[in-house]
A and B are shown apart, each in its own frame.
Chain A
């Protein structure tokens, strides 16, 4: 049953969880400190095993009223029919978070995208560059399109 597994995951990540709640329809959100991201992924791999899950989506959102940028990692724990969301908040003036591409190569696409569109710096990812997705005329002005004040 989905609920039981969700509880196990909360238990599992208890030492990292700042907060936890459900995102509709039934996704378990666990808020963690950005700096602990790699430890959490390592713990998940250790306990669930590499064959139990994959990183499905990395999503960043600009929250200018809170002076934060939020980065969510959506993890499909398909073996247990559950979806886990690791939620982190970064300061808007300096949105830096460790890259996880050495642990999970599949994070590459999402990190590249979130860097180019929102300006989040994934420390340790050497492939980050502007204009991977965004057009030159915009990136050359230093604009991150998905920021609320980007003007595009």
Chain B
């Protein structure tokens, strides 16, 4: 039942860099390559924003990028979810407190999953997306102890 729902659900990713060092971006890129086999979860890059299910945000979110982030989010059809990847997208990272760094994607859009790291490994990024799927399904995101 739950397992079948997960398998049928195929999340397409839209990636947006709000002003980052590209460290997280290359790990997001790596996570969609065969070594990590994201396709077994149905995870792939969406051909356009309007086909996206999951918005993957990297970067410390500068003011101008914040406007674009909001617009991008609004262009995505429901149901849509946001995964913030990397320390900068979580809280501004090394640059927290600097104006005008907004300091975290959740100051602009509703974030469903936070993946910490500088940058996080591709496995961690995929793990974050899978946790999101399990959460949505009403299932447990952590395995129950047997």
Using a CB–CB cutoff of 8 Å, the interface residues on chain A facing chain B are: 135, 137
Contacts and interface: CB of A to CB of B under 8 A. Distances in A.
Contacts of A135: 63-64, 100
Contacts of B63: 135, 137
B5 to A, nearest CB: 45
A8 B64 CA distance: 51
5 contacts: A135-B63, A135-B64, A135-B100, A137-B63, A137-B100
The 5 closest A-B pairs by CB, nearest first: A135-B64, A137-B100, A137-B63, A135-B63, A135-B100
Nearest to A135: B64
A137 B100 CA distance: 10
Interface residues of B, number: 3
Interface of B: 63-64, 100
A76 B63 CA distance: 38
Nearest to B98: A152
A140 to B, nearest CB: 14
A121 to B, nearest CB: 27
A40 B63 CA distance: 43
Nearest to A136: B64
Contacts of A137: 63, 100
A12 B63 CA distance: 50
Contacts of B100: 135, 137
A137 B99 CA distance: 12
Nearest to A138: B100
A136 to B, nearest CB: 9
Contacts of B64: 135
A125 B63 CA distance: 30
A117 B133 CA distance: 46
A137 B64 CA distance: 10
A135 B100 CA distance: 10
A128 B64 CA distance: 23
A135 B63 CA distance: 10
